Every structure is written in C-alpha cells, then in structure tokens.
Amino acid sequence: MAETKVCDELVRERNKCTFNVQELIHVIDGGEKNTKERKEVEDLVCNDPRLKDKVPEEYLSHKERYENAVRKGCTLFEILREYSQKHNTMDAFQPTNKYRVTFGVVKDISPFMLHMGMFVPTVMNQSDDEQRDKWLLKAISMGMIGTYAQTELGHGTFIRGLETTATYDPDSEEFILHSPTLTSYKWWPGGLAHTANHCIVVAQLYSKGECYGVHPFFVQIRDEETHMPLPGIKVGEIGPKLGFQTANNGFLGFEHFRIPRRNMLMKNAQVLKDGTYIKSKNDKLTYGTMVFVRVLIVTDLAYELSRAATIAVRYSAVRHQSQLKAGQPECQIIDYVTQQHKLFIGIATSHAFRVTGLWLWKAYSKVISDMGKGNMDQLPELHALACCLKGVCSRDANARVEEFRLACGGHGYMASSNLPIINGIVTATITYEGEYTVLMLQTARFLMKAWKQATAGTAMTPTVSYLVKFFDNDRVQWSNDTEGIVRGFQAVAAGKTKAAYEAIQKYEKMGMDYEEAWNSASVQLVNASEAHCRAILIEVTWREMKLLSEKVSPSLGKVLEQLAELYLIYWTLEKRGDLLLYSTITREDIAKQQSVYEQLLSLLRPNAVGLVDAFDVRDEILNSTLGAFDGRVYERLMEEAQKSPLNAEPVNQSFHKYLKPLMSRAKL
Amino acid sequence: MAETKVCDELVRERNKCTFNVQELIHVIDGGEKNTKERKEVEDLVCNDPRLKDKVPEEYLSHKERYENAVRKGCTLFEILREYSQKHNTMDAFQPTNKYRVTFGVVKDISPFMLHMGMFVPTVMNQSDDEQRDKWLLKAISMGMIGTYAQTELGHGTFIRGLETTATYDPDSEEFILHSPTLTSYKWWPGGLAHTANHCIVVAQLYSKGECYGVHPFFVQIRDEETHMPLPGIKVGEIGPKLGFQTANNGFLGFEHFRIPRRNMLMKNAQVLKDGTYIKSKNDKLTYGTMVFVRVLIVTDLAYELSRAATIAVRYSAVRHQSQLKAGQPECQIIDYVTQQHKLFIGIATSHAFRVTGLWLWKAYSKVISDMGKGNMDQLPELHALACCLKGVCSRDANARVEEFRLACGGHGYMASSNLPIINGIVTATITYEGEYTVLMLQTARFLMKAWKQATAGTAMTPTVSYLVKFFDNDRVQWSNDTEGIVRGFQAVAAGKTKAAYEAIQKYEKMGMDYEEAWNSASVQLVNASEAHCRAILIEVTWREMKLLSEKVSPSLGKVLEQLAELYLIYWTLEKRGDLLLYSTITREDIAKQQSVYEQLLSLLRPNAVGLVDAFDVRDEILNSTLGAFDGRVYERLMEEAQKSPLNAEPVNQSFHKYLKPLMSRAKL
C-alpha cells in the first residue's frame, strides 16, 4: 500500500538507532513469549471489521457515543470470551500489556471497565464458597454485567462517612438498602448508569439496632429480561466529564430496597439469620484489593506515558520549524535541546515507572502470600508504599503527558492527536482510588511512626531503614555519582521527615492537640511523603535498570543506563533546593550535573525514535494523527478532518437561519 | 424563590468576612462606575431568554454544538450592537471585565471570537485610509464576518516559514493566492471553517519574481448571498480539540485564487500597479499588535483564575469530608491546611496577574504613544517583557487551574463543574499567540544582550537595570522581609542570566558556533528568562498591591497585603533552591518563611469566601454546579445530571441491540 510508506525523517531516524529495537520490545513485554501473545490478542481485535468507526467518536453526541461504545464493547467481549476458552487469561489480573488493546476499540474508557476491573475481583475475593459458586462463573462469562458502587455524591475517600444503609430485618431475613439523603446517592461508578444490571454496593450495616460499619453487598438493580430498574431503585448517569466520556458513570439511590440476607458478601464478616453479627477475623483482610489496584495503577501509568511519548517523539522528528542557523532549511524540532528536555525525561519516566511497578508487584505478591500464612506484619509498610507511589506517579505522569502535549504545539491540542484523551485518562488517576493528598498523608502517618522508632533506636522495616542512617546527619556528603544521588535523596527524605515531625511538636508546644498540630504541619507532611517516595523511585529505578542493563546486549544496556542516569540527574536538578539543604552539594556540583544532563540529552538524541518504537504501540491503539509509525502527520490530520460531519456540507444550515439575517441587518 | 436560599456553610463564611466585599469588587473593576456598567451589560445578556439552553452544550454532537453556538452568538451580537449605539464600546479593546459575559452565552469559545479579536483590529491598524473607509464600518457592524488566517498546517510560530504565496500579476492588477503544498494550508483560525465569509490572509508576497516576505491581505472566501466557498477556495473545519469546541477552527487552501491589488493591506508596505514594491518605513510597526494581544492575555488569565477560584473555594466551604478530630462531625474541607495551600495561592495569583497586567498595559500604552512620536527605543524591552510574562503567566495559570480542579476531587472532573472547560481555555494560552519556549527564548536573546551591556558597563533599560546591581555579587544578602525577597529574586535572575551566558561561552570554546552554543545552552536560557520574569512578577505585584492597599479602607488593605505577602512567600519556598544558590538564605530562614506561610494561610482562612465573592462572577458566567453563589452543590449536580438525554429513557436501546444478546450467549 502506498499509504504505508514511511516518511523520510523517520526512515533516517530508524537508521541511526544504535540498539536492537526488537530486543527492547521483549524486555518491556517481559519476554519474547509475552510479546508473541500480546500480538496475537492485538491481531484478533484490531483486524475485526466490526470494531471500526466511520465517524470518529469525538463527533458524536454524548448519547450516540455511549451507544457506540456499548456496541463495540460487546463485540470485544465476544472476541475475548472466545480467546479465553483456548488460553489462560488469568494473566489479565497482573501487570501486563497484553490486554491494552481495548484502547484500539474505544479510544476513551469502556463502559465495561469496572466489570472485570472491580466487580469480578470483589465477587472472587469477598464471597464465601457458596456465593462464589453461585455468582462467579456467570459474572466472568458475562451472563450478568456488574460494577462496584462505593463512592457517594457527598462522600469519597473517607469511607467511614458513607451514608447508604443496609438494615437487617430478621423477620424476612432480608437487608433493606436505603439512601436516606441526596448526598447518600452512589455517584461515579463506571457502567452503573445504563449498562450494569448488578453491582456490589458498599453500605453501613445495621443489625439489632447497631451499626457495624461498611460492608459489601451483591445487588441486582435491573430486570434481566427488560433491563428496567427494579422497584425501589433510582439509577441514571451523572453527565459528561473531562474524560472518561464513554465510561457511563452513574448514580444510584435506594428506597427501602430489599435483598436476601445471603447477598451480603460473607467471606469475612457475616450476619446470621437472627441478626447476630460475626466479626471478620482481621480488619485488614479487605485491605488487599485496594493495594492491588494502586499497584496496577503505577504500571498503567508507565503504559500511558509510553503512548504519549510515542506520539510526541515521532511528531518531533517529523515536524520542522525555524532554523538552527540562518539560511539553513527548517530543522526537525527534536534537534532543539529544549525539545529534548521535554521529551526524553518522559521516556525515562515510563521505564522508571515500569520497573518500579514490577518491583512493587513482587513486594505485593510476597505480602499476599505471607498473609495467606497468617503473617500480616508487612501490610502497613506495603500500604504506605503503595499510597505514596500511586500519588507521586500519578502526579508525575500527568505532568509528563501535559509536557508531551505541549511539545506538540497547537497540533497537540487536536483531539486527533489523542493526547487530550490520554491526558484525561491520566489526570483522573490523581483523584480516583485514593485522592493524592489523602494518600500522601497516609504515608506520612507511617513515616511519623517510623521516625519515632528511629529516635527510640527501634528496628525499622526495610523501606524506611535509611531514616536511621541519616538520623544524626546534618548534611550528607555529596558525590557526583549515582550512589551520591541515591544517598542525597534519602538524606532529603530523612531531613523532611524530621522537619515535619518537629513542626508537629512545635505546634503541640503552642497548645494544640495532636490532630490540630498534624493539620497545621500537613503541608510539610505531604512534602515529607513526596521526598520519601522520590528516594524510593530513585533508588529502585537505578537498581532495577542497572540489573536490566547487565542482562541485555551491551548496545541496549548502554541506552538503558543512560535513561536511568537521565532520570536521576533530572530529579537532582529539579530538587536541587532540597539537596542544598540536606547534603553538601555545591553550586559547582549543580553546574556539573547540568552539563552531564545536557550531554545525556545529546547521547539519547539518535535513539529517540528507536526508544519509542520499542514501546511497540500499534497505530490502532495509539489512535494518533501525530504519532503513527509511518509519520504521515499532515496527511492524517487532513484525512481525519475530512471525517467531520460539518465538512460533509459546504454550507451549514446556520448560515441561512442566523448568519445571513445578522449580516443583512447591519447598518452599512 | 426557595431555590436561591443560600446554604448554611456559605452564610456562616460570609458572616466571618472582615472586609467590605463591595469595596473590593470596585477595586477589581477599576472603580464603582465600571462595576455599574459591567452589571448593565451582564443584565442585558443574562436576562435574555433566547440565550438559554434546554440541553447543556456538552451533550450535543459536535455539529449541533456549533449550530447552537452560532444561534446564540448571533443573538449576542444583536444585543451588543444595540448597546453600542447608545454607549462608547471602544473600552472593549482595553483590559476590562465588562464584556466577559460571553461565557454566559457560550460556555466555551464563541465562533466569532476572532472577528472582533483580530479581524477588526487588523483592518483598523493595517489598512490605509481608503481601505479603512471601505471595510471597517461593515466589519464592525457585522455586515461581514471575518477572521485572521496566518498559521498553516506545517508552520506556526516561525512566521518566515509560511508557504502560502501571493504573487502579483501586473497585467490584471491582481494578486494570485496559492497553496503550493498540503503543509501550506491555513490551519487553526477560529471561525474560518463555516462561519466567516472574509479573512485576513498572511502570505509570502512575490512581485517581479522577487519574494518580499509575509504581508496581510484582505480576502473574501465565501459568497455573501449563498455562503458557498468561492471558486479556488477550499475551506472546512479541522475537527474536535481539547477545548475550544465551538470555536469553529478551520483550514483554508487556495488554488490560484485572484484578489484585486488593493486587497493587500497597505498602511505600511505597498505594491504599485506596475508591481513595484514599496517597503514599510519601519519593520517594527506591525509588531505592536502582537504585543497588544500578549498584554491582554495576562489580564484574561487573571479573570480565568478568578472563575476557577470562585468554584473551588465555595465548593471547599460546602464540602465536608473526614474528621479533624475523632468523634467530631465531618469538617469543611477548606479547614484542611493542605486545601488552603492549594486554594489561597490561586486567589493571590489572580490579583498578582491583574495588577501586573495593568502595569504592563500602562507600559504598552506609553510605548505606543512614543511610537506615534517616532520613538521606537522602548519597543524591544516591552517586547521582551510581554514575551516572558505571557509565557510564565500562562504556565502558572494552567498549574493553578489544575490545582483548583484537583482540589474539588472527583466532582472537579465533572463537566458541570466547568473546571474542565476553564482548563481547556487556559492551557491553550501556553501555545497560541507565541509558544511558551519560543517566547522565553526571545526574552533570553534580550537578556543576553543586556548582560553583555552590563559586563561592558553600558547603561541599562529599566526592567533589566537590576542586572548591574548583582553583577559582581556572588550571593546577595538575604533578609526575611519583602525587600529581601524582591532582592533575592533579582539576584537569582542575575545569577541565572550569568550562568546561561557563560554556558554559551563554554560551548563556543568547545568549538561550536554561536547558534549551536545557544541551542546547547537553551534549557538554561529558558530558566534565565523564567527567573527574570519571576523577579518582575514579584516586584511589580508587591509594589502595586502595596500601593492599592494604602488607597483602600484599612480592613481591606490588610487583606490585600496578606495576599501579596502570600504570593511572595509561596514563591520563596517554591524557589528556595535558586535562592540558596544566589543569596545567603539559610535553612533557618526557610523554616521561618514556612512558618509565616502557614500563619498567612490561617489569617486568610476566614476571608476566603469573601475574597472569591469579590471576584463577582455571576452564576450564569461561572456555569458551575460547584461554585454557585448559593452553594447548593449536590442539588445542582443532580439537577444537571437529570438534563442528560441518556436519562430521558430508563432503558437505552443498546440493551436490546447488544447487551441482552451478549448476556444470553454466556455459557452458564
């Protein structure tokens, strides 16, 4: 096909690449076998003609867009159902790029996302055996469509504040679900509006006149034959958003709605026929799922960064603007060092998040396996780690995606670049599954305890043991190498932890109680958590990338090491203020790091396109006029514009209705 | 009306306010008279029943949304045309909040924006007298609709690279407009797609076989009676974007399209009948408009910040979440210091940008008046100033709006909060009318010249004269007061200017030519420009706010001073790394500033709602479920959701078409 001819710029860039792109593709997939399997799934989905749109989603009305997403989502399920009959698809519940092909079906979020993402896992993990037998298979095979309804109109992160009640009635052996106020309406769950016929509802459990806190219930909300909301159910959609337009987020209210006793998920706590409440053996057992989701978010962000990087880097290689020297032809914008400064840290960050996410996943798996053996000791540490990593990585990813978008100038503002949609997806992660500031303060609680232990000389858990090392250290010795940087960031984290700890003490001395003092010092507490998280990110990224670079061919290893070094130095320069406070780094050291940084940019320059090619995001999943493999940027921009229904007619009806009368009434 | 009952939280907050809100409203409007006039215009527009929507814009298809915007835009023009017959409306071309009521008509951008924003001003300023007589009145009275077509698919900020040609044909005394390539198509102009029938086209002028660079031409593109594109014109829309959905951005291509010789705007350069080219007396004469637009952007951003602040602060006063102390009821989230940290700097930044924008406007007016007298000396300085202020303010405003949005948690992601649309408007300013990095490097060129002058002991222009002061200073003496902060920021700017200057020299010594060295040092050059701009923002904000606070009542003066101080200290903490490098500030000084910062947050807390009330943004212009004056947040969220066409039917057709078949095929 003439269409797939690659533009000269990208051909030249690919010829410059010093490493084997295929090798890096396998590294990112976690092995050649994984790459092969991913491509199989992608082929199945991307080659299905039922999944193509004539008119791009963005032109449709809100309602049409939803209907189109349901149509395609159902087809996707049929394909994957068939696939799962021949293959083990349980790997979908681990960090993997194998199933990211959904972006090749619905550009934005699928209305079915919470079915597999939260409904099925909750049924799987919180039901007792009998309940699981009853519901799980039907759920997995899409015999019902479910979602997870926790957040309410007036209540988000603070789960204890939820208002929906589930009151046990021993006479009928039923729970009565009720929404006592407007603010108690469930609000936000994806797919809840018009898609799901079942959901998990989190509600305050009352029995025998007593409240036992929030518990999950399995609730049918729509008739299976007619899809009509059942009597006592008020359900609908919450309206358009910044992104997630096709997620079908809904609201849900109950009017004394009755469900059988056995619809309470009873793996942990239970209510007996007579209304007796049996407590869960351990409160923390329900904790795991929350941590699980946050761990996966870190690797999801790595993937979104790889999509945005692919778009911005390829566009920067194709786009020409201005002259580096007078009289020369306009140069590729990727040759501007300011552009490299915007782009390359984003590539490095994608790798940093991928390796850190996998490291976190291993830690999570170990803790879950220990929990199976009755050992819960490491859960608080894992929880503290997952909180700050989810928080900081979502913020960083958002900043990087925005920088990629801005690096594409005006065209990055076009929907057809797909950067606005990626931006909408990534920015949402800062808020959902635990709002940034709330999570950072959770980690800060852990840090304050750890600091107290450090001052008392108690033994520390691994991820905070560095605090002891810098306990008495006023300013750590700086050195201009990677170990020096890792040490410097740990010293900053220790210093800020100490400062926050002392700020609380200061406010207490002024007469505040602990919680008031905590609030007054909370800006510093968030800073301490961030610094702790940066120390982790820096250390883990360096260690894991270094290990990786030693396992691969020397030519690739060198590039991976450069990326890791760029990541470390970028943050050294970014956080030089903190390093000046807590290490002996000097103005000269900083100037030196700046030089090394500029040198690294020029070293990475010839491999930029190769590095994003290695993310191996197919055009159908990238959905971008600016980022396609062939680099036909301008042709695609114009082709996409031609699809606008407004362009189907030379004159829009509004001319005759409004414009002509307006102009003819002008006093000439 | 029962509906307008204000919620208890906001009543309490308003009772706490320590200053006269009405007094501050007048300050922001620039006088009581201005407030009165603004409210007259707002009443005229907001009370017109023709301008109400039944279904909110966001639910419509792209095409319907455009048609709706044209309908309402035409009505708005009728209203304003009538108003202008009784009042002087030339104040629309100055920084004023009087005409911002357009946001009460079209939530996003009007397809007519460039008509009054760029088409009319260009006709006014670049035509000769005869041309002005012919076109201006018709344009102002909407007898034609115009736009400004400069940017091309392949060419943005680098104007010299534009490809569209205007070749003079002396035989017919016409210019032949032509688009030789795909990349030469005009791309982006607002209103160009299906709205405008005329436009200014910027093209490379050729006469007698020679190219004379880019010039503006007045071009009719559609038939006035039928609105059909004229033969030789290809025009259409470019498609959906991150924001500006109703701006009707278009593309435009010419196929040997002929226009009369006298359609070249001839105030400056001219082409005579025989094709002789007459040069403009001064290249810089066309410069003014560009600076004019950038100056206005700074005050526009102040206004957008005031809208976002109003939404986030009122919501934070109404929203309750979690407990400050165990056992207490859930507290208003505005009582969390972390929330105050997100909100109050945004309020302060709106004031900072307003007073800096007005200061810049005065400088601009003086330079224009001097230019009228033939004195162009101060234009380069003004240009350098406008470049970096437009750049830095757009970046800062974007960050603040995003922070406001995130401060509203999940609900800030709802379109009905209006924060996503404000975000879309503000983030675009980073790119349009001069891309951030390009503008920062323009200022850097000026700074490098200034530094060279400083090293040579030459006299400096006012805004850079501080460079001399810190020329030989290694680290300036720090003091913990506002003068100390201003001095500190100037020292940082001088230090970074010096560092960038020396980096270029270093690269030159390594054998690079100047432009290569410039490129290699460009990250540092951008940093220097930013530092210069921060020094200006800090100094001007402090001086102007201080002056203002002395003119008003003491109770208001105190609050204005607190805001200015907050602005200074926020940036001191934010840029402590730079201050540590270029001043004698210590760890103890920084801790002290942190304390003062925390104290300022608590001082401003009782006035937070009063401060945003003083922005006096009417509910119809705010367009926000979260930010309305009455604080009925949850009621409005639910009322808006009810307007969704998806909620008009209990069961969507996609159930019968797709969901039911999918579920029935499940293997149970």
pLDDT in tens, B125-182: 899 999 999 999 999 999 999 999 999 999 988 888 999 999 999 999 999 999 999 9
How many angstroms separate the CA atoms of B596 and B601, rounded? 9
The 3-state DSSP class for residue A405 equals helix
pLDDT of residue A2: 42
Residue B598 with chain A: CB contacts under 8 Å: 520-521, 523
Mean pLDDT, chain A cut into blocks of 10 residues (668 residues total): 78 98 98 96 95 92 97 94 86 88 91 92 93 96 96 90 97 98 98 98 97 97 98 98 96 98 96 96 71 91 98 98 85 97 98 97 91 85 95 98 98 98 97 95 96 85 84 86 97 95 96 96 98 98 98 98 98 97 96 97 98 98 98 97 97 97 83
Evaluated on CA atoms A365, A370, A376, A380, the torsion sign reads: negative
Neighbour tally for A89: CB within 10 Å: 17
> Which position among B23, B173, B403, B433 bears the catalytic label?
B433
Q: Identify the residue whose tokens are 């702790």.
A: A532
If you compute the radius of gyration of chain A from its CA atoms, what whole number of angstroms results?
27
Q: Do A431 and B413 touch (CB under 8 A)?
A: yes
Phi, psi for B237 (deg, rounded to 5)? -100, 155
pLDDT of residue B376: 82
The 3-state DSSP class for residue A252 equals strand
Report strand pairing: A250-254 vs A233-237.
antiparallel
Residue A167, token pair as written in the block: 């009151």
Q: Which domains does chain A have, with CATH numbers?
A: 128-136+143-280 (2.40.110.10)
Name the minimum distance, in Å, from the CA of A612 to any CA of chain B.
23
Name the minimum distance, in Å, from the CA of B444 to any CA of chain A.
13
Terminal-residue alpha carbon distance, chain B: 56
CB B15 within 8 A of CB B640: no
CB A469 within 8 A of CB A488: no
Q: Do A643 and B239 touch (CB under 8 A)?
A: yes
Selected residue of A86, A478, A663 to mutate for chain B interface (largest B Cβ count, 10 A): A663
CB A355 within 8 A of CB A545: yes
Name the minimum distance, in Å, from the CA of A613 to any CA of chain B.
24
Evaluated on CA atoms A220, A224, A227, A230, the torsion sign reads: negative
Rounded to 10 degrees, the C-alpha dihedral B102/B107/B113/B117 comes to: 60
CB A198 within 8 A of CB A263: no
Residue B577 with chain A: CB contacts under 8 Å: 575-580
* Percent of chain B at pLDDT exceeding 70: 98
CB A501 within 8 A of CB A448: yes
Tens digits of residue pLDDT in B28-58: 999 999 999 999 999 999 999 999 898 999 9
CB A73 within 8 A of CB A110: yes
Per the rule left: phi > 0, alpha: psi between -120 and 50, beta: everything else, A227 is left
- Which of A339, A413, A662 is opposite residue B241, by nearest beta carbon? A413
Q: Do B410 and A156 touch (CB under 8 A)?
A: yes
Instruction: Respond yes or no: is residue B433 known to be catalytic.
Output: yes
Residue B227 with chain A: CB contacts under 8 Å: 651, 655-656, 659-660
Name the minimum distance, in Å, from the CA of A268 to any CA of chain B.
25
What pairs with residue A233 in β-bridges? A254
Residue A194 with chain B: CB contacts under 8 Å: 646, 651-652, 654-655
Selected residue of B413, B438, B516 to mutate for chain A interface (largest A Cβ count, 10 A): B413
Nearest residue in chain A measured CA to CA from B496: A591
Residues in chain A: 668
Q: Do B590 and A581 touch (CB under 8 A)?
A: yes
pLDDT of residue B658: 97
Contacts of B167 (CB under 8 A, 6+ apart): B175, B176, B178, B206, B207
Instruction: Indicate the residue type of A364.
Output: Y
Instruction: Name the nearest CA neighbour of B248 among A245, A659, A418.
Output: A659
The angle that helices B419-428 and B287-318 make with each other, rounded to 10 degrees, is 160
- In degrees, rounded to 5, the angle at the alpha carbon of residue B16 between the alpha carbons of residues B13 and B18 is 130
The 3-state DSSP class for residue A110 equals coil
Query: Whole-number mean pLDDT of chain B?
Result: 94
Residue B206, token pair as written in the block: 């050729």
Max Cα–Cα distance, chain A, nearest Å: 90
Instruction: Name the nearest CA neighbour of A349 among A408, A286, A393, A405.
Output: A393
Q: Do B515 and A326 touch (CB under 8 A)?
A: yes
The CA-atom distances, in angstroms, between B250 and each of A128, B148, B178, B234, B240 are 60, 11, 17, 10, 11
pLDDT of residue A238: 98
Q: What mean pLDDT comes out for the span B546-567? A: 98
Q: Do A321 and B157 touch (CB under 8 A)?
A: yes
Instruction: Name the nearest CA neighbour of B175 among B252, B260, B266, B109.
Output: B260
Name the minimum distance, in Å, from the CA of A440 to any CA of chain B.
11
* Percent of chain B at pLDDT exceeding 90: 85
Instruction: Indicate the residue type of B248.
Output: N
Residue A315 with chain B: CB contacts under 8 Å: none
Tens digits of residue pLDDT in B318-350: 999 988 888 888 899 999 999 999 999 999 999
Nearest residue in chain A measured CA to CA from B158: A322
User: CB pairs under 8 A, 24+ apart, for B358-361?
Assistant: B358/B95, B358/B299, B358/B544, B359/B540, B359/B544, B360/B295, B360/B298, B360/B385, B360/B386, B360/B389, B361/B94, B361/B95, B361/B295, B361/B299
Instruction: Indicate the residue type of A14.
Output: R
Q: Identify the residue whose tokens are 């790119």.
A: B431
Tens digits of residue pLDDT in B614-656: 999 999 999 999 999 999 999 999 999 999 999 999 999 999 9
Report strand pairing: A165-169 vs A174-178.
antiparallel
Q: Do B499 and A591 touch (CB under 8 A)?
A: yes
CB A106 within 8 A of CB A70: no
Residue A513 with chain B: CB contacts under 8 Å: 325
Residue A420, token pair as written in the block: 């606005």
Q: Do B644 and A590 touch (CB under 8 A)?
A: no
Name the minimum distance, in Å, from the CA of B536 to any CA of chain A.
22
Name the minimum distance, in Å, from the CA of B339 to any CA of chain A.
9
Q: Do B651 and A423 touch (CB under 8 A)?
A: no
Nearest residue in chain B measured CA to CA from A591: B499
pLDDT class for B517, splitting at 50, 70, 90?
Answer: very high
Q: Do A138 and B520 touch (CB under 8 A)?
A: no
pLDDT class for B289, splitting at 50, 70, 90?
Answer: confident
Residue A152 with chain B: CB contacts under 8 Å: none
CB A472 within 8 A of CB A491: no
Query: What secondary structure, in 3-state letters, does B265-282 show?
Result: CCCCCEECCCCCEECCCC
pLDDT of residue B440: 98
Q: Is the pLDDT of residue B1 over 70?
A: no
Q: Is the pLDDT of residue B213 over 50?
A: yes
Tens digits of residue pLDDT in B151-160: 999 998 888 8
- Which of A427, A503, A659 is opposite residue B145, by nearest beta carbon? A659
Q: Do A239 and B415 touch (CB under 8 A)?
A: yes
pLDDT of residue A377: 85
Instruction: Indicate the residue type of A224.
Output: E
pLDDT of residue B285: 64
Q: Do B227 and A655 touch (CB under 8 A)?
A: yes
Tens digits of residue pLDDT in A167-192: 999 999 999 999 999 999 999 999 99
Q: Do A142 and B666 touch (CB under 8 A)?
A: yes
Residue B643 Cα to chain centre, angstroms = 31
ipTM of the complex: 0.96
Q: Dump the DSSP string for B53-108.
A: -SS-GGGS-HHHHHHHHHHHHHHHHHHHHHHHHHS--GGGGSS-STTGGGGGT-SS
pTM for the whole structure: 0.97
Q: Return the DSSP state at A127.
A: S
Size of interface A-B (CB pairs under 8 A): 390
- In degrees, rounded to 5, the angle at the alpha carbon of residue B376 between the alpha carbons of residues B373 and B382 is 120
Residue A655 with chain B: CB contacts under 8 Å: 194, 227
**H-type alpha helices, B552-632:** 554-574, 576-582, 587-604, 608-613, 619-622
> Which position among A37, A173, A237, A433 bears the catalytic label?
A433
Residue A657 with chain B: CB contacts under 8 Å: 71
- Which of B144, B499, B634 is opposite residue A154, by nearest beta carbon? B634
Instruction: Indicate the residue type of A413.
Output: Y
What pairs with residue B166 in β-bridges? B177, B205
